[in-house]
Amino acid sequence: MWYFYIYDAGPLYWPTFVVVVLASLIASQAIISGTLSIIQQSLSLGCFPRVIVIHTSTKYEGQVYVPEANYLLMLACVAVTLGFRTTTNIGNAYGIAVVFVMTLTTSFLVLVMIMIWKTHLILLVCFILIIGNVELLYLSSILYKFNQGGCLPLTFAAVLMVVMYTWNNVFRRKLSQRLVLNNNRENVGEIVDDRQVEEDHMQPAEAVEREIEGVDKAWHAGIVHFIGETEVIAGKGASFGKRILIDYAYTILKRNLRDSDEVFDIPHKQMLKVGMTYEHKSII
């Protein structure tokens, strides 16, 4: 739409052009910041494959930069511009995305009103009838443009949902498998307890001297980082869908993204990878 405003601006063409460019920069910066923040939160919850997260601020935790996401956003913008070519289709995609966000927000708010706020039934029904009908009216008025560019945000959302579901599903099953394979935790606990008892009988100066000696030995010998690399495969009795999810979808994501040593920037000369294969026989 902004193209038509500039086209009809007449003598105000260049001032309008500058304002439009600045507005586009501000809007794009908000989209980039929101995307990177969501990816960081998804990583912490185990819902997204491993990517490099660079913290750009020492004061604010949420200010991050993800190179892979930034490059993908750039490619997506170029592809959308070349594919649509007109602002009409882009406007349709943007309109459907905004209306769907409004509808989903209202739906989640209804759940909060029911489960947390314990809102009275009459107030709840009034809210749904008033706000819900208005948003459904907006949604129904724009759905007819679904095949005119409106399918783009829904397609992006579907692809991201498939990626996040695949990664989180196998990630959770891998954690549950680790809990089953914990025969070694007791042995490690005994070693730690024996060392703690030994240190408790020392005087404080002796304990400090022992720690300094251990650090000094490690410094001269060279620090070695142990990295666990796990492979997940479907068991012999797994169904066809589970094999597609684990052996193909998850494996493709894992092999085409960054490894742990690249994410944590570990030197190869000081790294030791320990591999383990998890076989899921009854994955849900």
Least confident range from 79-93, 111-125, 162-176, 195-209: namely 195-209
Query: What is the pLDDT at residue 208?
Result: 66
Q: In this model, does residue 250 exceed pLDDT 50?
A: yes
Map out the domains of the chain as residue ranges: 1-85
**φ, ψ of residue 45 in degrees (nearest 5):** -95, 0
Tokens at 165, concatenated: 């579901």
- Confidence tier at 112 by pLDDT (50, 70, 90): very high
Nearest one of 47, 158, 43 to 100, comparing CA atoms: 158
225 in Cβ contact with 270 (< 8 Å): yes
Tens of pLDDT along 253-284?
877 776 666 666 677 666 766 666 766 665 44
The pLDDT of residue 166 is above 80: yes
pLDDT at 109 over 60: yes
- Containing H/E element for 166? helix 151-180
Is the confidence at residue 210, as pLDDT, over 50?
A: yes
CB 60 within 8 A of CB 266: no
In the predicted structure, residue 189 carries a pLDDT above the cut 60: no
**pLDDT (0 to 100) of residue 284:** 43
Q: What is the mean pLDDT of residues 111-116?
A: 92
96-100, 111-115, 136-140, range with greatest mean pLDDT:
111-115
pLDDT at residue 237, rounded to an integer: 74
Q: State yes or no: pLDDT of 201 exceeds 60.
A: no
Predicted pLDDT at 123: 92
Higher pLDDT, 1 or 157: 157
Q: Which regions of the chain does DSSP assign to beta strands (E)?
A: 54-55, 64-65, 225-234, 271-280
Whole-number percent of the chain with pLDDT over 90: 6
Nearest to 148 by CA among 90, 100, 101: 90
Are the CB atoms for 49 and 253 separated by under 8 Å? yes
Of 199 and 262, the structure prediction assigns the larger pLDDT to 262
Q: Is the model more confident about 125 or about 265?
A: 125
State the pLDDT confidence band at 125, using cuts at 50, 70 and 90: very high
Q: Both ends of the chain: CA-CA distance in Å?
A: 48
Please determine, for residue 169, whether its predicted confidence score (pLDDT) is greater than 50.
Answer: yes
Lowest mean pLDDT among 145-154, 177-186, 259-268: 177-186
Three-state SS annotation for 210-269 = HHHHHHHHHHHHCCCEEEEEEEEEECCCCCHHHHHHHHHHHHHHHHCCCCHHHHCCCCHH
Answer yes or no: is pLDDT of 36 > 50: yes
Instruction: Determine the Cα–Cα distance for residues 265 and 54; give it in Å rounded to an integer.
Output: 11
pLDDT, tens digit, for every residue of 44-95?
888 888 888 888 877 877 778 888 888 888 888 888 888 887 777 887 888 8
